[in-house]
Structure 1
Amino acid sequence: MGNSEARAAKWATFLASRNEFPARERFLAAFKSGRITRTCECGCNSFDIEVPEESGVPLLARPGNYGAVFELMFATVEPTGSIEFTIFVGKSGHLASVDVSHCANALPVPDEFVIIEPPYHARVSEALGV
């Protein structure tokens, strides 16, 4: 399965289920209100999303604090490697993109794999205001 809007929805649901991410509800609301504007075709599963200002969805981060606001990384088996997630916001504070890569984007994201719990890295930006 290549990168697609369906794959983006799968990753959004996965990220919103993770206790390591304190802005789960805001993230999922932004994803559901947004429109995917690009899915990367390089083999990663990254995507860009636009959340309309008039959506009424709470901001994911404080305005002006654009960039990466959350990172989550797991070791994987079958195949062996890692899967990495990074959530980005735009200057407005709304969700802007999600990067999903395998082995630091050295390999395409496999259709199926098994993650090893717990994640070996989780970082929450202060910009989330949580």
Structure 2
Amino acid sequence: MPNDLNQAAYWVAFILEHCPFPNRDALAAQFSNAEIVNLCGCGCNTFGLSLTTRDNVPRIAIASSGQPHRMVFEADFRDRWEPEGWGSLEILLFVDELGHLADVEIDYCGNGIPIPENLNLELTPYSVFVSESLL
């Protein structure tokens, strides 16, 4: 599946609708006040974010000067097209040192293969990680 601005916008909507992020309003504010940048071309659908009004947007995690790029959330969804539930789409959210959303990583099977053109995802994640640093 090609990674472009339209696909990134699709994933933003999917994340806000289907990921059980603890503070959805703060996450939505991050997306609403950011420009999508750095589209990865390796076959995943990863993209970065550049906040336009950083000071006016609530952080989603505590600041940490020692960890400038850290994962704070992950939700994994099964792909029903794959036999016996082997297909997995992983959504990982990373924050910058100030606790603002910086990168959204979208992988398939641990980034072992490119994201397929057609997905039939279960809409409830089978695995979720929530960092203790989330606000």
Deviates more, 1:60-69 or 1:101-110: 60-69
Distance 1:121 1:28 in 2: 21
Structure 1 counterpart of 2:2: 2
Distance 1:85 1:43 in 2: 14
1:61 is the counterpart of 2:67: no
Q: Is the 8 A contact 1:78 1:113 kept in 2?
A: yes
Q: Is the 8 A contact 2:19 2:75 kept in 1?
A: no
* Structure 1 residue 126, shift from structure 2 partner: 1.3
Taking only aligned residues, the RMSD between alpha carbons, in angstroms, comes to 1.8
Distance 1:114 1:54 in 2: 35
More strand by share: 1
Moved over 4 A (4+): none
Q: Is the 8 A contact 2:48 2:103 kept in 1?
A: yes
Instruction: Sort the Cα spacing of 1:96 and 1:9 in 2 relative to 1 into closer, same or farther, 3 A.
Output: same
SS of the residue aligned with 1:13? helix
State the percentage of identical aligned residues.
35
Distance 1:116 1:59 in 2: 29
Q: Deviations over 1:7-47 (max 9, x none)?
A: 11111111111362112221121112111220000000000
What is the TM-score when the length of structure 2 is the normalising length?
Answer: 0.86
Q: How many residues align?
A: 129
Distance 1:73 1:5 in 2: 22
Structure 2 runs not aligned, ≥5 long? none
Distance 2:74 2:49 in 1: 17
One-letter code aligned to 2:6? A
Structure 2 counterpart of 1:15: 15
Structure 1 runs not aligned, ≥5 long? none
Structure 2 counterpart of 1:35: 35
Instruction: Sort the Cα spacing of 1:44 and 1:54 in 2 relative to 1 into closer, same or farther, 3 A.
Output: closer
SS of the residue aligned with 1:39? coil
* Structure 1 residue 63, shift from structure 2 partner: 1.2
SS of the residue aligned with 1:98? strand
Deviates more, 1:8-17 or 1:45-54: 45-54
